[in-house]
A and B are shown apart, each in its own frame.
Chain A
Amino acid sequence: MNGLEAETQFHVLAVDDSIIDRKLIERLLKTSSYQVTAVESGVKALEFLGLLDEEEDDDFSNSNCQRVEVNLIITDYSMPSITGYDLLRKIKKSTSLKDIPVVIMSSENVPSRINSCLEHGAEEFFLKPVRQSDVNKLRPHLMRGKKDIPNINKRKPVEECLSPDRTRTRLNHDLE
């Protein structure tokens, strides 16, 4: 790790309607020295991101400047009202936010759900309960997002989609 990386503080927005899971993910992220904002719903997340009253196109660059920078969004899939999937779609449709990496968490292993999330731009899909080893996988995505540098030297080799473990990673980041 070079000196520049040591100064960087990443800010993660965590979204989960379960208070226990929020506490867990917050602790997991903090032990990795990330700054964390944890909210209880997709609506609150959109509010925090400044997307709630906005149309997709932001002519209002003033509101963008006031927003806190978010380097990664990690969200539960199953939430009342706006699901994690809905949140993912809204973020990826936003010109100002589409480049923020999004990770989905779910307690259920539903392949069609997983594929759908990955296809629509989620970087990773974690099965709950989320563990330290899962959170360790966030760093390459954070590194890529923070600096607008081509990602060639920054990433670890990407996992195969068919890996038997509990996470799935999207391939071909270059095709973004």
Chain B
Amino acid sequence: MLGLSVEQLRADMNRLLAILFHQGVLDEQFLQLQQLQDESSPNFVSEVVTIYFHESEKLLRNLRALLVDKELSDYKKMGIHLNQLMGSSSSIGAQRLRNVCAAFRAASELNNRPGCLRALELLEYEYCYLKNKLHEFFQIEQQRMLAAAVRYPAPQQHRNNPQG
């Protein structure tokens, strides 16, 4: 692992991000998150994304529980969960998830149960995909940080080192 260079790992990260942007999975808001990360808050993005994962999983479970009940589907409550999921997805730049939430919400407003079920399946799928990709992203980032630490072990680092 440490044999991989910092540059190579950074390129891997960028390539992964480029794919996710190209696929419309992530949007510019994710970049905004990255810009908020610095020495004073070095794990900001992964912290936010971790909170997002916890919250989203809870909301997805709630949505499934609401839809499973064939007798009475509480569409209003679904709407509340969806608004939450939509908002947080938008805040981290999870564009595709946000869009699926919007479609789901439209179906729930029409009390369209089959439509809601379809949307939930899609939501769960997209969520899994995003979670896997972001885990991959953070793993590479961790490796890069480790590699950079090994490379510059001295406490007095040159902050403006172009290779950092």
Name A residues whose Cβ lies closer than 8 Å to a Cβ of B.
18-21, 23-24, 27-28, 30-31, 78, 107, 128-129, 131-132
Contacts of A31 in B (CB 8 A): 36, 38
Cβ A18 vs Cβ B88 within 8 A: yes
Contacts of B97 in A (CB 8 A): none
B160 contacts the other chain (CB 8 A)? no
Cβ A129 vs Cβ B44 within 8 A: no
B90 contacts the other chain (CB 8 A)? yes
Interchain pairs with CB closer than 8 A, number: 48
Contacts A18-B87, A18-B88; A129 near B52 (Cβ below 8 A): no
How far is A18 from B54 in the complex, measured between Cα atoms in Å?
Answer: 13
For the complex with contacts A20-B51, A24-B91, A129-B29, 7 further pairs of A-B residues with Cβ separation under 8 Å are: A18-B91, A20-B87, A20-B91, A23-B51, A28-B36, A30-B41, A129-B93
Cβ A128 vs Cβ B90 within 8 A: yes
How far is A78 from B79 in the complex, measured between Cα atoms in Å?
Answer: 13
Cβ B87 vs Cβ A132 within 8 A: no
Contacts of B55 in A (CB 8 A): 19-20
Name 19 interchain pairs, CB-CB below 8 A, sorted by A.
A18-B84, A18-B87, A18-B88, A19-B51, A20-B91, A21-B87, A21-B88, A21-B91, A23-B51, A24-B36, A24-B48, A24-B91, A27-B41, A28-B36, A31-B36, A107-B90, A129-B90, A132-B32, A132-B35
Cβ B88 vs Cβ A23 within 8 A: no
Interface of B is mostly: helix
Q: Which of A19, A21, A131 contacts B32 (CB 8 A)?
A: A131
Contacts of A107 in B (CB 8 A): 83, 86-87, 90
Contacts A18-B88, A27-B36, A128-B90; A78 near B83 (Cβ below 8 A): yes
- Interface hits, B1-36 → A, CB 8 Å: 29, 32-33, 35-36
Contacts of B51 in A (CB 8 A): 19-20, 23
B57 contacts the other chain (CB 8 A)? no
How far is A107 from B92 in the complex, measured between Cα atoms in Å?
Answer: 13
How far is A93 from B137 in the complex, measured between Cα atoms in Å?
Answer: 49
Residue of B with least CB distance to A106? B87
How far is A107 from B96 in the complex, measured between Cα atoms in Å?
Answer: 16
Q: Which of A20, A30, A78 contacts B88 (CB 8 A)?
A: A20
B47 contacts the other chain (CB 8 A)? yes
Contacts of B52 in A (CB 8 A): 20
Cβ B44 vs Cβ A27 within 8 A: yes
How far is A137 from B132 in the complex, measured between Cα atoms in Å?
Answer: 37
How far is A24 from B44 in the complex, measured between Cα atoms in Å?
Answer: 9
Residue of A with least CB distance to B38? A31
How far is A24 from B93 in the complex, measured between Cα atoms in Å?
Answer: 12
How far is A30 from B92 in the complex, measured between Cα atoms in Å?
Answer: 18
- Interface hits, B47-65 → A, CB 8 Å: 47-48, 51-52, 55
How far is A132 from B87 in the complex, measured between Cα atoms in Å?
Answer: 18
How far is A128 from B29 in the complex, measured between Cα atoms in Å?
Answer: 10
How far is A31 from B40 in the complex, measured between Cα atoms in Å?
Answer: 9
Contacts A18-B84, A19-B51; A128 near B36 (Cβ below 8 A): no
